Amino acid sequence: MKAKAVETEKAPKAIGPYSQAKVVGKFVFTSGQIPINPKTNELVTGDIEIQVKQVLENLKAVLEAAGSSLDDAVKVTVYLADMNDFMKLNEVYAQYFKNKPARSTVQVVRLPKDVRIEMDVIALKK
């Protein structure tokens, strides 16, 4: 089975040598998304809720470009710089994931560009 790279201008360009996502069979594996506005290529700063929303909009765009959606997500991994943001993360997250995919949330020492959050998704392709 061959993996197909996914690229869309509706999400930030990769900041390294990787694809925004890969489609393998019926699965879509996204790369981690951080709160970068794809129109300006600038980091979204401010409250964690604003950053979570940007990350989820980026993931939504990547999944749609791959022929999938947030509704098709089966596993989400969330990386937080500060676990104190957990409750605020959940408030925004619940608005985007009605299907309640499996999820892991971990606090990490540091994220790319010193952002407060990064997420990746595994989803089914429609």
What pLDDT digit, counting tens, does each position of 18-61 carry? Answer: 999 999 999 999 999 999 999 999 999 999 999 999 999 999 99
pLDDT at 16 over 90: no
Per mean pLDDT, which range of 9-18, 64-73, 75-84 is the poorest?
9-18
Give the residue carrying structure tokens 């499996």. 102
Categorize the per-residue pLDDT at 15 as very low, low, confident or very high, splitting at 50, 70 and 90: confident
pLDDT tens readout for residues 85-113: 999 999 999 999 999 999 999 999 999 99
CA atoms of 84 and 105, how far apart (whole Å) = 12
Q: How many CB atoms lie within 10 A of CB 75?
A: 14
Q: Name residues whose C-beta falls within 8 Å of residue 6's C-beta, 6 or more positions apart in sequence.
A: 19, 20, 21, 22, 23, 28, 62, 65, 66
pTM: 0.96
The pLDDT score that the predictor gives to residue 1 is 81
> What pLDDT was estimated at residue 126?
86
Domains of the chain, start order: 4-124 (3.30.1330.40)
User: Using H for helix, E for strand and C for coil, what is the string for the chain?
Assistant: CCCEEECCCCCCCCCCCCCCEEEECCEEEECCECCEECCCCEECCCCHHHHHHHHHHHHHHHHHHCCCCHHHEEEEEEEECCHHHHHHHHHHHHHHCCCCCEEEEEECCCCHHHCCEEEEEEEECC
28 burial via Cβ count (<10 Å: 0-12, 13-18, 19+): buried
Per-residue model confidence (pLDDT) at position 93? 98
Res 23: pLDDT = 98
